[in-house]
Chain A
């Protein structure tokens, strides 16, 4: 047994870790040692990838490429391959992952199990929309081959299925054509939510990527920075300077408090305002701004932090976000990086996928015990009243009824669960 945390570092409870290194041995390993749960890079913030006092199956040893077709952009690889390694392999060859989240230090298996989204949901949907095939192993020895048309029910359960339907060992992804590593980007400051929604709506047609950062500390809330981008036409492939900063230690207390936050948010806002305008930006800078500070999650100190990410329907989006920002401002808790972005009107592939047509807000809060949790309860009320849901990849504390109302296809999904698999999250929200 050894202590294992997820990205939020809220705890480090003992786990028995079993490394999966050979696809042909996985079946035997998971049927002998269970119940367990797959663990990729542990970039989920809560307990989706944990199983305290139980078994974890580490998947990063399953990191071989199997086949790549330069003409069609079809990539077959093992499920522990990192998105970073895919990008570095295929971008110089004229292809790119169609959908990528805000960090590339995650596994393909993790990207599918949370059906992750990027900045281009309104154009290309979520990660699962580009998966063509999954080989899924079950703890009872069954092998399930599924895809959008092959056993589509199993596919819909596994995309966004939180690792609970089996262990993915091999997947096929359809990549997208790209000229090179550069994007044409534009940064636009906005003063209130009204402006944000105007920018988001007007960008939907002409821009593939949109995202924004909102300052939730100033009174009234709602000023922010809107960023949008399109793939550039420059083919020249440059590697970005590889220098990385690491948060060297866990400080004894959180470096993130109201004072430092106010200073940060104001500085960031003014800096970005000053930098506003168009630019040509490298994909690693545009998509993964935080990956250059390795282990930045340590700055929240030994108690860790929560991320609260919800989506609420578009029609009530503006009022909903306004009320949430007001709650946060009232509570005195502040969030360091608050991301606000819209999702397009698209059918979700997975039964348990998070994205739905609307607006999503993601906030990081240092763990201050009950006061933080109390704030979340007030935010929950707003989310629930508007018909929204909370993102399971980020969640560590939601209550069961909130989960059940947020994910209406739950009953259908449960039929596909593997009885030899359970996680902290599944125990908390589904009873086992």
Chain B
């Protein structure tokens, strides 16, 4: 049986890791875990290997900022053949107030949450176009649907991903390549640990991952996870400014 070939950019993300566990549990896979810290990626690689001894697991340590590093990372991965699924998952939730007080914090947040995933998507899109095959999934966020005072720096970067994915979907319409945009709601991962201490209600990472894996399997264009966020964000997007501006969100 041919192994499904999967690549995860930002493989140490809790959401991505739980997707990888689900894939390893149900299929024989050939998975490449891409991250910035070897020891962290290795820890996950070992875990997946225990869960699925017959699967092949590769790790790649690379950069997330430099365009030529991003391109060569994608080139190297495709050098050994086409890929069935690429999941771009990295991101970080900056402190909004810090961003307002310090432009370089804002710059870094926009770069890692917006520009970097877009460049990775573009780098892989080139190869997937040639192969005319595969699913390119990118994790955006419900925060990208409308700018809010509590996190518009992060939201703007995620908004960039929304437009980028839209453009790619247009470009690949009618081809063998599918582009899936994933918009999680608040999820219980290390990224949101501080929110949990403030009493926020978070969805379990297992159930978010389950929905993402399903959306990727079906090649869904946009997947809110869990799906209730589709309705909530529909309302939020359409609230008139005179109401919206009074909300403390």
Contact = CB atoms under 8 A, between A and B. Distances in A.
A2 B43 contact: no
Given A1-B197, A2-B197, A64 B190 contact: no
Contact of A70 (B40, B51, B53, B190): B53
Contacts of B39: 24
Nearest to A58: B193
A403 interface: no
B43 A64 contact: yes
Interface string A56-77: 0000010011111010000000
A16 interface: yes
Contacts of A19: 190, 193
B51 A89 contact: yes
A305 to B, nearest CB: 25
A31 interface: no
A124 interface: no
Given A21-B190, A22-B40, A70-B53, A16 B197 contact: yes
A67 B199 contact: no
Interface of B (DSSP majority class): helix
A255 interface: no
B51 A2 contact: no
Interface in A13-66: 16-17, 19, 21-24, 61, 64-66
A205 B46 CA distance: 41
B196 interface: yes
A239 B52 CA distance: 17
B197 A68 contact: no
B58 to A, nearest CB: 18
Nearest to A69: B50
Contact of B50 (A17, A24, A61, A89): A89
Contacts of A70: 53
Nearest to A64: B47
Contact of B46 (A17, A21, A24, A67): A67
B214 to A, nearest CB: 15
B50 A68 contact: yes
Contact of B44 (A23, A64, A68): A64
Nearest to A76: B50
A307 B199 CA distance: 28
Given A2-B199, A89-B51, A64 B46 contact: yes
B40 A65 contact: no
Contacts of A66: 46-47, 50
Contacts of B190: 19, 21, 61
Nearest to B21: A85
Nearest to B50: A65
A273 to B, nearest CB: 39
Interface in B1-48: 39-40, 43-44, 46-47
A267 B179 CA distance: 56
Contacts of A22: 40, 43
Contacts of B193: 19
B13 to A, nearest CB: 12
Given A22-B40, A24-B39, A61-B190, A17 B197 contact: yes
A169 to B, nearest CB: 12
Interface string B46-63: 110011010000000000
A23 B44 CA distance: 12
A78 to B, nearest CB: 9
Interface string A177-202: 00000000000000000000000000
A67 B43 CA distance: 11
A16 B190 CA distance: 15
Contacts of A23: 43
A66 B39 CA distance: 13
Given A22-B40, A24-B39, A65 B51 contact: yes
A17 B196 contact: yes
A70 B50 CA distance: 10
Given A2-B197, A61-B190, A66-B47, 20 more contacts: A2-B198, A2-B199, A16-B197, A17-B197, A19-B190, A19-B193, A21-B190, A22-B40, A22-B43, A24-B39, A64-B43, A64-B47, A65-B50, A65-B51, A66-B46, A66-B50, A67-B50, A68-B50, A70-B53, A89-B51
Interface of A: 1-2, 16-17, 19, 21-24, 61, 64-68, 70, 89
Interface of B: 39-40, 43-44, 46-47, 50-51, 53, 190, 193, 196-199
User: Which 3 A-B pairs rank lowest in CB-CB distance, beginning with the nearest?
Assistant: A65-B50, A64-B47, A68-B50
